[in-house]
Amino acid sequence: MRVVKEFNQEDIRVSVFSWNNKYILKFELGPMEQTFKVPETDVLDEEDLETFWTGDFFEKVKLRFKEMGQSFRAEVENL
């Protein structure tokens, strides 16, 4: 597995890996993570991956983290 890029974007850790002819996009926030796999054949240049952390897709990732966090906190409170 090759690390393509790692950085923080709005408190979310973004890691991009290349493995088995796929790009693996991992978004982490606290105890939660979201992972997406994109076939390398769908990406002309690695710079094209930036759309995943700059646009509407990233807004949905943030919203999903908010929903995940609410569910997680509610469940932890019921333990």
For the segment 28-46, what is each residue's pLDDT rounded down to a tens digit?
999 999 999 999 999 999 9
Average pLDDT over residues 65-77: 95
- Identity of the residue numbered 34: Q
Place of tokens 């002819």: 21
Predicted confidence at residue 63, as pLDDT, reads 98
pLDDT score of 79 more than 90: no
What's the distance, CA 10 to chain centroid? Answer: 12
pLDDT score of 5 more than 90: yes
This prediction's pTM? 0.92
Place of tokens 């002309």: 44
Name the domain count of the chain.
1
Parent domain of 35: 2-77
> What does each C-alpha distance from 60 to 4, 17, 19, 23, 31 come to in angstroms?
23, 21, 25, 19, 18
Predicted confidence at residue 64, as pLDDT, reads 98
